[in-house]
Structure 1
Amino acid sequence: MTAGGAAPSVRSVVVDAPGEHRLVTGPRPQPGPGEVRIAVHAAGVCASDRELYDGTRAEGYVRYPVTPGHEWAGTVDAVGEGVGPVGTDGPGGPGGTPTSLVGRKVVAEGFRACLHCERCREGATSLCTGGYDETGFTQPGAFADALVVPARLLHLLPDDADLRAAALLEPAAVVAAAVLAARPGAAERIAVLGAGTLGMLAVQLLAAYSPAELLVIDPRPGRAELARTMGATHARRPGAEDSFGGPGASAGYDLVVETAGAPGTAHDACMLARRGGQVVLTGMFEAGAQGIDPVHLSVSQLTVRSVFGASPAAWSYAVRAFGSGLLDPAPLITHELPLTAFGEAVGLVGSGDPAVGKVLLRP
């Protein structure tokens, strides 16, 4: 094992049960065979973390007690037995001059897929039938000074990468999965429902396909304006004909990407699509959300896809877009808090304050 000069003990947030958390200090975790240890630089707090804390996450998708944190970026500071340097049998594949992983800036996939089931063997690891297992929900996450993950899940970042911004590559990978599923074409009319983190990242990736129109729908004028700076052609409120800074828009979109997870947005997304159009659902819906009208779905011959998590291909897509400058999550960050302020961070995420964008914890 190769180790850095980090402190002999580390802190981590532990959620023992819904509504109960504590900050604990203990020995640094040691990477086992095939694992690496990460010095966490920044970790994003999202609505799923709020669900974990409130106890509203679907049964089977959290295991208490747990250290949350599935959106993160950091630096490798130790490697376990059998983890080769980059360029040999280590992350990044063969070729190139072998260099040590220690000191490299990285992110990593969250799903701990079995790699043996039929879905995994066809490359759809987010559909693994071996049982749900994910960093920050069933395995220790990144609301901590240090994190241990399987080396096979790593994605290397450029040496000059902004690790604050890179902490948002997990939601970017989810959006990338939606884009890969939709395969948008140039000059298509595209609508994005929701201007939260997922929606803003979707706008950036979709703008690269040169759509004829890229509409963002969100009730918050400030967020809609930010979306226009990221590539949206115009934006409007849900159900409104008037738009923020552009012409009005009507139904008939070639592609609709839903990112809000609000009670009515799956239904609304289908109503926005043209006949024969595509709808991709990325938001996490709660029980009681409005259903999709099966008559409209059938008569309009819509293609509806859903996204939960991201495959390795989607992660690679997001990391490449970030490394090339095509994707810039940094403007979405509005709050940065220390690890000791976990309770405040969760409160911000669930506050409904339109001024709250992405909240980061900085160990």
Structure 2
Amino acid sequence: MKRALLLDAPGEYRIIDHVPEAPRAGQALVRVFAAGICGSDREVHDGTRPAEYVSYPLTPGHEWSGTVEAVGAGVDGGLVGRKVVGEGFRNCQVCERCRNGDTSLCTGGYDETGFTRPGAFAEALTLPARLLHVLDDGADLRAAALLEPSAVVASAAMMARAQPGERIAVVGAGTLGQLAVQFLAAASPAELLVVDPRLERAEQAVPFGATDVLPPQDTAAVEGSYDLVVETAGARGSAVSATRLARRGGRVVLTGLPEPGAEGIDPIALAMRQLTVRSVFGAPSAAWAYAVRAFRTGLLDPAPLITHEFPLEEYARAIALVGSGDPKVGKVLLRL
């Protein structure tokens, strides 16, 4: 018998005895090592996530790492005992977008581990084996729990196509922002600015390659200066701030997901300044492969971003820290 957290409704949870689903054909059973808590999990807990993107009762958890315990028919038995992470989107693999490689744009309908399917706030998780990405035997599973947000940032980096010598800005210094700095610094930019109202938090990006940090209120002098701006904050005005930082003809990639009521981007400004704006929601399989490769080679080091770890029984303390605004709170993990 294993344990799992069950969220019966927003704010109503309990720790239950959990008998994991035995892996059927094409599936794998994973013993979860650690699961990260992000802003989306806080939305699920609070009941603020749009209804079409969550299904209660639910075991949350979409950022995780673990070890394969068993596999179903048709799955390579050599996976058993291997360290893994796994994609969240249950893409159909047959629609036009999936066949084009855009698996995060699957037209088969939204379906994701930890939101519409049981997630990793449990000691065991069953999912399609095709979604797994195998890690090295010596991989740090604690750090690997951050490979889901890393894949999101990898998707943004692939869209951004940063070039050596460009001026780049990152709006937001949370987990996504810190990971974005690591990916973008690898492109050897001439300048890599991080913008966040929490200067103490922003300064944590300097060892990762940031060359300067500014609070949003001090960016007027550098607006219109950056070839590429990657927005990661998901704050009310961060998308607008990102477009203002971009130069004429510049590129903007939006990765943050703000709540309803966020400031809209001026379409006239977009047209007159000829900006290219892309957005990210989740990550396609190619971005997952990129993130895992970067982790394996040491280009990506998520471990320093982890500041708090709790057992499953202390979920209430863990979820309270996420979104608290405390600059000393980075990535919060549940250790299973």
- Is the alpha carbon distance of 1:329 and 1:117 closer, same or farther for their aligned partners in structure 2, counting shifts above 3 Å? same
Which residue number corresponds to residue 181 of structure 1? 159
Which residue number corresponds to residue 291 of structure 1? 264
Query: Could you tell me whether the CA contact under 8 Å between 2:195 and 2:215 is conserved in 1?
Result: yes
Query: Could you tell me whether the CA contact under 8 Å between 2:167 and 2:227 is conserved in 1?
Result: yes
Gapped runs of 5+ residues in structure 1? 1-8, 86-99, 243-247
Matched, 1:40 2:32: yes
Mapped to 2, the partners of 1:352 and 1:241 lie a distance apart of 21
Equivalent positions of 1:213-252 (< 5 A) are 213-240=191-218, 249-252=222-225
Which residue number corresponds to residue 94 of structure 1? none
TM-score, structure 1 as length reference:
0.91
User: Offset at 1:28?
Assistant: 3.4
Mapped to 2, the partners of 1:338 and 1:263 lie a distance apart of 32
Q: CA RMSD in A?
A: 1.1
User: Offset at 1:350?
Assistant: 2.8
The residue identity in structure 2 corresponding to 1:306 is S
Give me the identity figure in percent: 66
The residue identity in structure 1 corresponding to 2:227 is D
Which residue number corresponds to residue 69 of structure 2? 77
Query: Could you tell me whether the CA contact under 8 Å between 2:222 and 2:245 is conserved in 1?
Result: no
Equivalent positions of 1:129-168 (< 5 A) are 129-168=107-146
Matched, 1:328 2:284: no
The residue identity in structure 2 corresponding to 1:269 is A
Deviations along 1:76-107, one digit per CA (max 9) or x if unpaired, are 0111111024xxxxxxxxxxxxxx11110000
User: Offset at 1:29?
Assistant: 2.7
Deviations along 1:216-264, one digit per CA (max 9) or x if unpaired, are 001112212110011101111112159xxxxx84431000000000000
Gapped runs of 5+ residues in structure 2? none
User: Offset at 1:197?
Assistant: 0.2
The residue identity in structure 1 corresponding to 2:193 is L
Mapped to 2, the partners of 1:317 and 1:285 lie a distance apart of 26
The residue identity in structure 2 corresponding to 1:117 is C
Mapped to 1, the partners of 2:19 and 2:156 lie a distance apart of 39
Which residue number corresponds to residue 277 of structure 2? 304
Deviations along 1:319-356, one digit per CA (max 9) or x if unpaired, are 00000000000000000000111111111103222211
Mapped to 2, the partners of 1:27 and 1:260 lie a distance apart of 37
Task: Give 3-state SS (helix, strand or coil) of 1:139's partner.
Answer: coil
Deviations along 1:262-309, one digit per CA (max 9) or x if unpaired, are 000001100100000000000011110000011111000000000000
Which residue number corresponds to residue 200 of structure 1? 178
1:111 to 89, 93, 103: 89
2:16 to 19, 24, 29: 24
Task: Give 3-state SS (helix, strand or coil) of 1:73's partner.
Answer: strand
The structure that is helix-richer by fraction is 2
Task: Give 3-state SS (helix, strand or coil) of 1:15's partner.
Answer: strand
Matched, 1:50 2:42: yes
Task: Give 3-state SS (helix, strand or coil) of 1:140's partner.
Answer: coil
The residue identity in structure 2 corresponding to 1:202 is A
The residue identity in structure 2 corresponding to 1:356 is V
TM-score, structure 2 as length reference:
0.98
Matched, 1:319 2:311: no
